[in-house]
Amino acid sequence: MTIILGLVIMLVCMLGGFMAMGGHVDVLWQPWEFVIILGTSLGTFIVANPMKVIKDAGKGIGEAFGNAAPTSRHYLDVMGLLYSLMRELRSKPRNEVEKHIDAPEESPLFQKFTTVLKNKDLTVFICDYCRLIIIGNARTHEVEALMDEEIQTLRYDKLKAYQAISNVADGLPAIGIIAAVLGVVKAMGAISEPPEVLGHLIGAALVGTFAGIFFSYGVFAPLATKVKGGREKQMRLYIVSKQTLLAFMNGAMPQVAVEYGRKTISAYERPTIDEVEAETVGGGGGESKKAA
């Protein structure tokens, strides 16, 4: 919603100001200039990136428009699941706990927290480190180092889409100049035409420069920033899981360990202690349980 609102404000102010200065908006409508600029950008984007990144960039743009950043519900589900797993780890024999982490899709414990179960990478992350805890001979500082390395790798992979879109934004002004040069070449071919015709052709060529800069700084750069912000927030779920499990490995009670994780959440999205307590000690599930 904010992306559409921002684009509307930008277009209204830009085109409205141009019209207020006496400009004619129809002069800016040069579809073939747009084809040259956007088509060339799309081609370079495909050349520069593997298919996985291309698909992920499309997914990232969809997430940006859908504002797919984690909400308080996502954090509560992660902490509720971790609390339940830690209680199982403390009170149940190994074979009973392994049933949950070996087949989380079939586990009634995981099924209570559907937002976690839908996030396949996060589910695997949690299950892998719970399995290490069950094994019992892993040192906490070694597990922490491994978690940091994996989180860094996951973050790098998730931000490839941002980098790809950002590269398109960086290249658009230069591609706009290419379109403008091609327009000037066309205008020079009509040098013998009357000044009115020649002026229209030169104006159309200059639209290429305008469009390249506009698409770069007005559309793709902000969109890339939006994708990056959403992906960075998604990584916060892994940090919450990491800090909670490390605290548990260091001997903290499940309820205390969850508080370690809660403190890593940004104050804008951080659930209150009472909300976390209701989600953990109170049985949890919340909206996820209703959805299930």
Q: Which residue has the higher pLDDT, 207 or 288?
A: 207
* DSSP secondary structure string for all residues of 138-183: --HHHHHHHHHHHHHHHHHHHTHHHHHHHHHHHHHHHHHHHHHHHH
Report d(CA 8, CA 23) in Å as an integer.
19
Confidence of residue 284 (pLDDT cuts 50, 70, 90): low
Region at 93 (left for phi over 0; alpha for psi -120 to 50; beta for the rest): beta
Contact, 249 vs 140, CB < 8 A? yes
What integer pLDDT is reported at residue 291 of this predicted model?
40
Q: Please, what sign has the CA dihedral across residues 13, 18, 24, 29?
A: negative
What integer pLDDT is reported at residue 290 of this predicted model?
43
What integer pLDDT is reported at residue 288 of this predicted model?
46
Contact, 288 vs 77, CB < 8 A? yes
Whether pLDDT at 11 is above 80: yes
Whether pLDDT at 83 is above 60: yes
pLDDT tens figures, 39-55: 999 999 999 999 999 99
What integer pLDDT is reported at residue 93 of this predicted model?
84
* Alpha helices in the chain, H assignment, sequence order: 2-20, 31-48, 51-66, 72-91, 94-102, 108-111, 114-118, 120-135, 140-158, 160-188, 195-213, 221-249, 254-262, 273-280, 286-291
Whether pLDDT at 289 is above 50: no
- What radius of gyration do the chain's Cα atoms show? 26
Contact, 216 vs 169, CB < 8 A? yes
Domains of the chain by residue range: 28-292
Nearest to 262 by CA among 237, 287, 231, 283: 237
Please give the mean pLDDT across all residues of the chain: 89
pLDDT tens figures, 209-247: 999 999 999 999 999 999 999 999 999 999 999 999 999
Whether pLDDT at 117 is above 50: yes
Q: Rounded mean pLDDT of 150-159?
A: 95
